[in-house]
A and B are shown apart, each in its own frame.
Chain A
Amino acid sequence: MGALTGAITIRRYAVRGDVPTTERILKGIRAHVQVPIDPEGDLEKAIGWADIADPSDTDLSASKVFRDDLVVLGLRVDTLKPPTPVVQRLVSEQMKKLDHRPTRADKCQIKDEVIKSLRKRYYPTIKSVDVVWDVHAKSVLFWTHSKQLNEWLEQMFNRSFGLDLIPLGPGVAAALQQALFPTPEMLMGFPGLPGRPVAGEDCDG
């Protein structure tokens, strides 16, 4: 679902900064390609670039990434976190086996051990969201409105290419360097209508 086929729900961005070279873009992508989470470690979430058509493919060659003037990528988010109810149940069982009243430190230690053992039995969940960057038009389309994913995109884009993404929302008006305030009539209603202020009262704006 996304850029290639299916439903289209997008947030649009402007790219602030100079257009990088093809080599610089590819280097930035490869430096931040998704690296699978190591179950032996304690990392819960990993974010990186992947192939737009196949999120499991992180061997990103120029032919996969560049399509005419467009850079096409998947922002892949891997999460390896055992379910909280399972962790709680196992921690509770382990604490009952202790021969003394469990302290806070005991609970923390048991919880760490339980999570560590469970991480080896669960597979990471993988979510990939399509990103299309029109390099010369300096615009980016991102296939979700999720606040968290959009923040991660902005961070990853900056880390990878040294460029800022500016959401193309009504906030672009801020670039006008002119203070704009809500129109009173569109907050309180138009004068003269039933229950509305009369012209000259409250709505002078």
Chain B
Amino acid sequence: MDKFDEVQDYVFLGREFLTWLLWRADRGDNSFNCYDRVFTVTFNGRICLGSIDGDVVRGQLDGQSAAYSIEARAAIGAGRTINAATIRFVSGEREWSCVLTQTLDLRGVKIPALLVEETDDRFGERMSLLLELHQMVQAMYADFLKVRTTETWRAETVPAIGVWVTTALEA
């Protein structure tokens, strides 16, 4: 199996990760740690949902809070997972945003405003901020894998996500 196929074979984990992340963010449990720094995530903007089969295999919801909408919850309840979402990361006064995809690639990254003016230093700062975002994504995914690879996932997390979906739909 080549490396690209290996990634593709586990792509369902990327979709489950984004769905888990939305569930956490919507509950307000949106803080993570990365090298002793706390950061928070929120979904803001477009999300893409998909499923392997069914009547609808791909859909897109646009809007400032599209991820938190009843439509998103209904889609997740019906077996759709998130393929890509615009996510905002906040650490202290700094703010990043990007589209995080199911393959954990980053698109349309926006980094905090640069402070230095010298060209070389600007590159250094730009890279430093980008590598920080990379570490934050890795930290969140590591947290997800800790849950996903234990019994907690089936026994607690999945039922809790189910309750989160049904509660919203019944309201």
Which A residues touch B126, using CB under 8 A? 3-4
CB–CB B134/A169 < 8 A: no
Contact A139 B77, CB 8 Å, known A173-B13, A182-B12, A183-B16? no
Residue in chain A with minimal CB distance to B79: A189
CB–CB B105/A11 < 8 A: yes
Which A residues touch B127, using CB under 8 A? 3, 67, 70, 132
Residues 43-73 of B, flagged 1 when their CB comes within 8 A of A and 0 if not, give 0000000011000000000000000000000
Contact A186 B81, CB 8 Å, known A4-B123, A170-B14? yes
CB–CB B6/A189 < 8 A: no
CB–CB B130/A8 < 8 A: yes
CB–CB A8/B78 < 8 A: no
Number of B residues near A (Cβ < 8 Å) is 55
Size category of the binding interface on chain A: 35 or more
Residues 156-171 of A, flagged 1 when their CB comes within 8 A of B and 0 if not, give 0000000001111111
Q: Which of B102-128 contact A (CB under 8 A)?
A: 102-111, 120, 123-124, 126-127
- In whole angstroms, what is the CA distance A174 to B2 when docked? 13
Residue in chain A with minimal CB distance to B17: A170
CB–CB B109/A166 < 8 A: no
CB–CB B134/A170 < 8 A: no
- In whole angstroms, what is the CA distance A134 to B133 when docked? 14
Which of A82-90, A110-118, A191-199 participates in binding chain B? A191-199
Interface of B is mostly: helix
CB–CB B105/A12 < 8 A: yes
The count of A-to-B residue pairs whose CB atoms sit within 8 angstroms is: 144
Partner of A170, one of B103, B108, B109: B103
Partner of A180, one of B15, B106, B149: B149
CB–CB A167/B79 < 8 A: no
Interface of A is mostly: mixed
Contact A154 B3, CB 8 Å, known A12-B106, A185-B79, A188-B79? yes
New contact pairs (16) apart from A141-B130, A169-B103, A205-B158, CB-CB < 8 Å? A3-B127, A4-B123, A67-B120, A145-B105, A169-B14, A170-B7, A171-B7, A171-B9, A172-B141, A173-B148, A176-B149, A180-B13, A183-B16, A183-B153, A186-B16, A189-B78
A residues apposed to B, CB below 8 Å: 3-4, 7-12, 67-68, 70, 72, 132, 134, 137, 139, 141, 145, 147, 150-151, 154, 165-174, 176, 178, 180, 182-183, 185-193, 195-196, 205
Can you list the 6 inter-chain pairs with the closest CB atoms, starting with the nearest? A189-B79, A8-B109, A169-B7, A171-B7, A170-B14, A170-B13
